[in-house]
Structure formats: C-alpha cells, structure tokens
Amino acid sequence: MKNLFTLILCLVSANVLLYSYESRNLLQTKITPEELKSVLQTHKEWVPYPSYKDRKGWDKLTNGIKYDLISKGEEYLDYDWKVVKFTDYTEFEKSGSRVIMQRPFGQNNSAMAALVMAELAEGKGRFIDQIINGTWFACEMTTWVLSAHLPSFQSNGRSVPDPYEYTIDLTAGDLGSFYSWVYYFFKDEFDKSSPLIAKRLRHNIEDRILTPYMERSDFWWQALDGREGRMVNNWNPWCNFNVLTCFLLMEEDPDRLANAVYRSMRSVDEFINYTHEDGACEEGPSYWGHAAGKMFDYLDILSMATSGKVEIYDQPIIHNMGEYIGRSYVGDGWVVNFADASARGGGDKYVIYRYGKSVGSDEMKHFAAYLFHRDQMDKSIPSGRDIFRSLEALLVQPELKETKPELPRFQYTWYPQTEFCYFKTESGFYFAAKGGYNGESHNHNDVGTFSLYLDNIPFFIDAGVGTYTRQTFSSERYSIWTMQSNYHNLPVINGYAQKEGSEFKATGVDFDPGNPSFSLNLAKAYKPEAGIKEWKRSYSVNDKDEIEIRDKFELNNPEINNEINFMTWSKPIIAHPGVIELRKDGKSVQLSYNDKIFEVRSEAIFIDDERLSRVWGERIYRLTLKAKTLSTNGKYFFKISKLD
C-alpha cells in the first residue's frame, strides 16, 4: 500500500481540483504522428555540437573557458567513487532525511559531469578511464531514483530500491539523459577498452528509461491518464525532456522513436494545458528553471530533432511563461517568492537568453545579460548532471557577452489567472501580492499575502521553505511553520489560520492599474468554522507613494480577538505608539497602525535550517498586532512609508 506521503511529490492534497485548465494541446495539433515520423532526423544529424574527435570544433566551442573545464575535471582524476548503501536509502524511512542518500549520489554525479566536460574540452584521453569507472559504477547501482521519490513509484511503497521494478523520477531521468550523451560522445573510446562498457550502458538506459516510459502510464508526472483536474507541475517537462533526449540519442527503431516522441508531446501538452495563459509559475522563481525553463529545453531539443518543423514559440502562453522570470526579479539577487521558492535567485542566465532568443523577447535577452554581467568574476557555464544546459551555454555565451544588460522595465505586472500582482513606486518600493488558492504546487497557505522591498532590500518577507525532509511532502506538511498562514503577512481570524486545499481560495480578486491597487476577499481561504462572512483586504499606493493596507471584515459570533501578522527581516522597533520602524542596510521603513485598536508584540524566529539561513541569516521576526476588542465587523488600516 502506498504511503500517504507519496500521493504527489510536490503537494499533499487528497483530491486536488484544478484551479484552471485549458485543452490547448499545442504540440499535438502542430503535427500528426505520421508527419512527425517523416520529419524526425535520424543518425543524430540534429546534434549541434562537435564530435569528440573534432578538436578544432571543441577548441572553438570552449574558447576562453577550456582550461577552467580541464582544471575542474583534474580534481576528480583520483576520485574515489562513493557507495550508496542500503541503510542510506532506509534512512529516509527512519529519520526523514534525504541528504544521507543524496550526498554520496550527488558527489558521484558531480564528479562524472566534471570529468566528461574536461575530456570533451581537452580530448587527450586523460579522463577516459575515470569516465569509464563512473559509468560502470552507475550501471552497478540498483536504481538512479532518489530514496525520497522511490515510495511514490514502486509497488512496495518503500524507499528501498527494487531491482525488479524500474521507475523514472527527476534524477533517474537526468542520469538517463546524461549517460545518453556519454554514450554518444565516448562509445568508440569505451570500445577500445571493452565493447561491454557501451553495451552495458545502452542496456541500462533501455531498462531504466526507454522501456518504462513506453510501457507505463501510471507515473503521475506523465499526466497521461486523461483526467482533467490533476496537478501537473515541474516534474512533467523536466522528466519528459530527459526521456526525449534518451530516445533521440539511443533509439534506432524509427517507428518506436516516433511513437515515443509523440507520447512525450502528449504529456508535455498537459503541463502547458495546466499552466495559466498569463504564464506565471505558481511554484515561484526558484522553480521556473525546472518548470518553464525545462519546458523550453524540451521544446528546444524537439525543434532541433525536427529541423524546426515542430515549434510553438509563437504562442502567447509560451512567451508569457518565459518573461515571468524577469518580472519576478527585484534586484541584487532578490526575487518575489511564494510557496516553496527562495527569496534569492534569478534563474539560469543561459536558459533565459536561449528562451528569449527563441520566443523573440528582447526583455529576456537583456535580463539574461544583466545576470551575466552582474557577477563579473563568474563567467563559468552551468555544471552538473544536466549536460545539455552546459553544452548549450557554450554555444550562446559569446553572443550573451555582447548583449546589453538591462532589467525589465515596468510600473506594474498583473497575472490575472494566477492572481499575482507586482508594482513599483517612484520612492523605491517593489510590492508583490498574490491571490490564488491553497492547493497550488509546492503550496503554502498564503492566499492574500504580500512582500515589500525598498531599494532591493526585503522588509516584509516570505520566509520560503527549509531543507526538504520526509515531513515536507507528507500529511505533516502543514505542521511546518513556514507553510502556515500565521507565518505570512496575513490575519489570524477569530483564532483561525488559513486551511490547505484547493477549495480554500481568494474570491473577488481585482487589480486596478490606475492607482495601482490590488484587492481580494480572504473569507474562503479559512475554514467555515472561522465564521467569516467577509474579509476584504486591499493594497494600494497613495499620492505620497506610500503603501496602504485595508482590511474590512464581517464575522459571525467571534470568540477570539483577531491578529494581523507581519513577517520581517529586521527587528521591529516601536518608535512610539502607532508607529513601528524597520531598519536594514542603511534603509528604513515605518508601519503605521491605530494603537487604540491594536496591541503589539514581536518575536524572533531563530533559524537553524541551512536552506533558510543562507537567505536570511540567524533570525527573522514575526510582528503581531492583536485587536484589543472582539468585533463582529470593522475596518483596519495600515500604512507603510519610506523613512529618509
């Protein structure tokens, strides 16, 4: 019997109802299966990179970073390959730790990636023996699936790898794709040592990727069950890209190849169908590279393999999905984060540039150049098991260097279907808020929350998420404080926080670009027991360039005084009754409130989780304004101003 935490990896919701779905089927309607077979290139003619023996080609491709790639590979010439033990897998069941298994596994994969790129750059055979060792070692592994993912796909429901049941998760797909490229580039070199190496590798990719993908339709990420209403998140394009790569590089039967490619098109269509027309990534900027970014990688390699005959870059939704990443960038490495996304990031500059080039978005290309030039010391290409992105980065780096760096320019951005709202003020505020529902991928109970930055410094924040454990994607998910609405910039109403589930959502959502202002009714984001008739929250900019927050409410039989929470990076200071100051890095803002209505308290939240501390340091704060009296109806007003 499947464990409860394996229902779906990126959200726990027993009966997820889709917030919106449109049967666009852009890929399937582009070409028929019969036509696809006729346009698919054979004999790997679509591959745009030099062959291993083409030394002039590789010298040109790696110009400027050749010796950096070689140097990184040299670090692993004497690498001792790490064994992933049985108890490393079962540790996930015992303590919930994913790291115990993932650390040695990841170290091996990082070593292989560095060795492969070094050998492609140098071409003298110095790294071949270690590449063979790593390849042979990978083939010896029972599975390429992470311990945390195994229970979702194996019949035994355990984190113990079953040698008789191959399944496909993110890492199995990544390694299938990676080793398909290893086979493509080094088969002849492997054969010089023994034909068994390449033969065994091909057999592994067949058993681990090709056969399961064609024979199974029960991987939830495939979304091939014909059921509208299920979640389709970043796993879909990510896994399908990897599978497509494996088939394009390894499959020799043209009929099976065409069937596999079309099957992947049907699957990726479900991801695009699930995505709102406005193109926003409901999982946040941290996941854009795995969601829209991986969809682009899929579309890119599909276009290569069909000589551009299968492309949908002209579709508005594809364009919108791309430009989301730049619009969500605040500045100085800070991004608008909702759900499990981190507040730090920006995206892979090479993917953003390639995406922008394909869809004709100058905004994306200039933003990619901004990220490229922002860190003058780091001109390296992406490293790791996603070798396709490494190779593509080598191709576009010369033109990216010559592109003018510039951040997207906008006063406001409104995503009407996803219900994300961003706007900027002349005084330096960057404001972001969301509506939506509490059943989104990587969901936090955060309907109606906001974040606020001044001159690229976060003041009112979304904490993000800590290190993933078994608890993160289990029935215990919402016992974690970062997932709860009372640790977001939201009210606790009559003692109730928001509830998880797609039925708990915003209503009456409205955005007015004239002010600009954003408003919504929060009532349905809370359980009926909260007794909320209406809780309308609005955010607006006044004529002094200040942010105003208004809450208008009506309750049934309130029993507990309302509380309004604000999450802050800096320690709240009560300057005087009715005014709280926040100071950070030489900048200051003040929050004004009615001290006759509220009493104030604040608490430090000490952070001992590395994933969170990398962003926020040792602590963040929760500021709570508690109403002094019970009220069946009323109005609250808050104002956030810049302090000189």
Q: Could you read off the pLDDT of 338-379 as tens digits, one per residue?
A: 988 999 987 899 999 999 999 999 999 999 999 999 876 566
Show the tokens assigned to 233.
Answer: 């998140």
Structural domain that includes position 279: 25-397
Q: Residue 193's pLDDT band (boundaries 50, 70, 90)?
A: very high
| CA neighbor of 130 nearest in space, from 74, 77, 184 | 77
Is 385 found in the same domain as 530? no
**Mapping DSSP to helix (H, G, I), strand (E, B) and coil, where does residue 415 land?**
strand
CB 327 within 8 A of CB 414: no
According to the model, what pLDDT value does residue 346 have?
A: 77
Kindly report each contact of residues 93-102 with a partner whose C-beta sits within 8 Å and lies 24 or more positions away, as own/partner: 93/158, 93/159, 93/470, 95/470, 96/469, 96/470, 96/471, 97/469, 97/470, 98/146, 98/147, 98/148, 98/468, 98/469, 98/470, 99/467, 101/146, 101/147, 101/148, 102/146, 102/147, 102/148
pLDDT at residue 1 greater than cutoff 60: no
Where is the domain boundary, 328, 362, 397? 397
pLDDT at residue 11 greater than cutoff 60: no
| CA neighbor of 232 nearest in space, from 240, 224, 221 | 221
pLDDT digits (tens, 9 = 90+) for 221-247: 999 987 766 789 999 999 999 999 999
Is 484 found in the same domain as 368? no
Is 422 found in the same domain as 368? no
Is 505 found in the same domain as 570? yes
Is 478 found in the same domain as 367? no
Q: Left, alpha or beta for 223 (phi > 0: left; psi -120 to 50: alpha)?
A: left
Q: How many domains does the chain have?
A: 2
Where is the domain boundary, 397, 430, 464? 397
CB 449 within 8 A of CB 490: yes
Is 480 found in the same domain as 372? no
pLDDT digits (tens, 9 = 90+) for 415-443: 999 999 999 999 999 999 999 999 988 89
Phi, psi dihedrals of residue 359, rounded to the nearest 5°: -95, 0
According to the model, what pLDDT value does residue 12 have?
A: 32
**How far is Cα 301 from Cα 476, in angstroms, rounded to an integer?**
39
pLDDT at residue 19 greater than cutoff 70: no
Q: Residue 7's pLDDT band (boundaries 50, 70, 90)?
A: very low
Asked if residue 235 is part of any domain, the answer here is yes
| CA neighbor of 447 nearest in space, from 392, 370, 547, 518 | 518
* Beta bridge mates, 433: 421, 450
CATH number at residue 349: 1.50.10.100
CB 458 within 8 A of CB 577: no
One-letter amino acid of 588:
S
Asked if residue 404 is part of any domain, the answer here is no
pLDDT at residue 518 greater than cutoff 70: yes
**How far is Cα 631 from Cα 557, in angstroms, rounded to an integer?**
9
Angstrom distances, CA of residue 314 to CA of 302, 311, 351, 596: 15, 8, 18, 57
Query: What's the rounded mean pLDDT across residues 156-177?
Result: 96
Show the tokens assigned to 318.
Answer: 């594809």
Is 441 found in the same domain as 385? no
**How far is Cα 95 from Cα 157, in angstroms, rounded to an integer?**
17
Asked if residue 576 is part of any domain, the answer here is yes
Give the predicted TM-score (pTM) of the model.
Answer: 0.94
Is 418 found in the same domain as 321? no
Is 383 found in the same domain as 247? yes
Q: Left, alpha or beta for 229 (phi > 0: left; psi -120 to 50: alpha)?
A: left
Is 389 found in the same domain as 416? no
pLDDT at residue 16 greater than cutoff 90: no
According to the model, what pLDDT value does residue 40 have?
A: 97
Asked if residue 12 is part of any domain, the answer here is no
Q: Residue 209's pLDDT band (boundaries 50, 70, 90)?
A: very high
pLDDT at residue 4 greater than cutoff 60: no
**How far is Cα 335 from Cα 337, in angstroms, rounded to an integer?**
6
Sequence-ordered list of residues with C-beta below 8 angstroms from that of 462, at least 6 positions apart, any chain: 337, 338, 343, 444, 446, 449, 451, 488, 489, 567
Where is the domain boundary, 373, 397, 421? 397
Element of type H or E holding 593: none
| CA neighbor of 159 nearest in space, from 537, 469, 571, 552 | 469
**How far is Cα 393 from Cα 402, in angstroms, rounded to an integer?**
14
Label residues 403-427 b or e (16+ Cβ within 10 Å = b). beeebbeeebbbbebbbbbbbbbeb
Is 450 found in the same domain as 339? no
pLDDT digits (tens, 9 = 90+) for 528-577: 999 999 999 999 999 899 999 999 999 999 999 999 999 999 999 999 99
Quick one: DSSP state of residue 402? T
**Mapping DSSP to helix (H, G, I), strand (E, B) and coil, where does residue 291 land?**
coil
pLDDT digits (tens, 9 = 90+) for 262-289: 999 999 999 999 999 999 998 889 899 9
Alpha helices in 251-386 (DSSP H): 254-274, 292-305, 316-327, 349-359, 362-374
Tell me the average pLDDT of the chain.
94
Asked if residue 10 is part of any domain, the answer here is no
Q: Residue 8's pLDDT band (boundaries 50, 70, 90)?
A: very low
Asked if residue 319 is part of any domain, the answer here is yes
Is 37 found in the same domain as 121? yes
Asked if residue 406 is part of any domain, the answer here is no
Q: 1 or 117, which is more confident?
A: 117
Angstrom distances, CA of residue 631 to CA of 459, 494, 522, 557: 30, 10, 17, 9
CATH number at residue 568: 2.70.98.70
Asked if residue 403 is part of any domain, the answer here is no
Show the tokens assigned to 14.
Answer: 């027993």
